[in-house]
Amino acid sequence: MTTISKRSVDATKAAEKDSYLRDKDLKWFGLKVTPTGRKVYLIQYRVGGRKGRTRRVTIGVHGVLTADQARARAKQLLGEVAAGCDPAAALREERGTGRLGELLTRFLEEHAKGKLKPSTAGEYHRLARLHILPVLQHRLARDISRSDVVRMHTALAAKPYQANRVAALLSKFFNWCEREGHRPDGSNPCRHVEKFGEVKRERFLSFEELTRLGEALRAAEDQRTASPWTIAAIRLLALTGARLSEILTLKWEFVDFERATIRLPDSKTGDKTVYLNAPALTVLTELHRVVGNPFVIVGERKGARLVNLQKPWRRIRKAAGLDDLRLHDLRHSFASIGASGGMSLPMIGALLGHSQPQTTHRYAHLAADPLRAASETIAGQIAGALAFPGKHPS
């Protein structure tokens, strides 16, 4: 028996069977740890005196709830017990509706974990933990109205992208609630909630900026202020237009030097082929392979990949005088150079691995530049032959 806190909960290890940790300060409050390591806060009490039946109520999962939040909820429920109520019976009556926190946890575990990519599932968990559960976790899912969703959405107005992602997650969750019978069909409260406008950022590197970035990378390489794998990752991002996750999770087994390709079995849009040009092949050929590590971009831990590129990237971009440049902008720059050079949008979309043509459409105005130049050249010759009066482009 100990005080249930973040430290004691984190220190509790899984056993072969369900194990329990009882709180020494709050009677009937405890923690269950499953063999898989899942940690669940709960209360256990008796109804009808010492010989009465034992009841157990799950409060929530550790990670979604903190120890302090679980303790506060336990006090509330145990107060109901002291007043002669039976929270377990009340929850059984609400079965099929349920509290939002409990149902959202189920949704994230049953739907998101099994059907979504790990990065998307992780983002769902983050949005739920930061923005949804602190506000709505103890409310009944059936009682959430459109005004509740609008208030939450509006509270995030300063971060429109974040606000829209929260609304999108809630919409999927309430659709799931309808399918599972926790809300009536067609009652999704996210319907008709207007999204905030999102300004698509278009940041492309000019030739001069690319040159500065190249100089900063060489300086980091010479002075050893960044690891060879960090520098290789940035160069590969710039040279291939691949996504950051695709480069950081790249394994040597996916690289085919003979065919000059990378075959990714599972990217954001499914399986994908990245075509390696000569400079990208050089980066990979010269990169040191670590024995026992399957990843191309090696991290500090033995056998692991590099997880986060942001810290060294900030140093390198600062040295290049490109403080506003994101790693994702290297992908945009790859596409913009192709569009400006006369490549078709379908070809650029294929190189980037876009599954929808409209995703590539942002580069349409750049693809028009070589067409304008060609039109000017043709018109200049025709105008000269026709002795067209006035000035015309040469």
DSSP per-residue letters across 75-139:
HHHHHHHHTT--HHHHHHHTTTT-BHHHHHHHHIIIIIHHHS-HHHHHHHHHHIIIIIHHHHTTS
Higher pLDDT, 301 or 98: 301
Answer whether residue 360 shows pLDDT above 80: no
In DSSP terms, 262 is beta-bridged to 255, 274
Answer whether residue 96 shows pLDDT above 50: no
Confidence band of 243 (pLDDT split at 50, 70, 90): confident
| Helix, strand, coil fractions of the chain, as percent rounded to 5 | 50, 15, 35
Sequence-distant (≥ 6) Cβ neighbours of residue 343 within 8 angstroms: 367
Sequence-distant (≥ 6) Cβ neighbours of residue 193 within 8 angstroms: 146, 149, 150, 153, 167
Pairing of strands 270-275, 261-267: antiparallel
Which range among 91-100, 182-191, 289-298 shows the weakest confidence by mean pLDDT? 91-100
Higher pLDDT, 24 or 376: 24
**In angstroms, what CA-CA distances link 244 with 37, 73, 330, 331, 377?**
31, 41, 10, 9, 40
Taking the CB of residue 211, how many other CB atoms lie within 10 A of it? 12
Confidence band of 179 (pLDDT split at 50, 70, 90): confident
Confidence band of 330 (pLDDT split at 50, 70, 90): confident
Task: Give me the mean pLDDT over the 192-216 stretch.
Answer: 85
**In angstroms, what CA-CA distances link 310 with 155, 357, 368?**
28, 30, 34
Quote the pLDDT of residue 268. 64
Nearest-angstrom CA–CA distance, 232 and 286: 9
Answer whether residue 392 shows pLDDT above 50: no
Rounded mean pLDDT of the chain?
A: 84
Report which secondary-structure segment, H or E, holds 41: strand 39-47
Share of the chain above pLDDT 70, in %: 81
At what angle are helices 228-240 and 207-223 packed, to 10 degrees?
Answer: 160
CA-based radius of gyration for the chain? 28
Share of the chain above pLDDT 90, in %: 43
Give the SS3 label for residue 30.
strand
Quote the pLDDT of residue 354. 65
| Single pTM value for the model | 0.54
| Sign of the four-CA dihedral 101, 105, 107, 108 | positive
Nearest-angstrom CA–CA distance, 169 and 130: 13
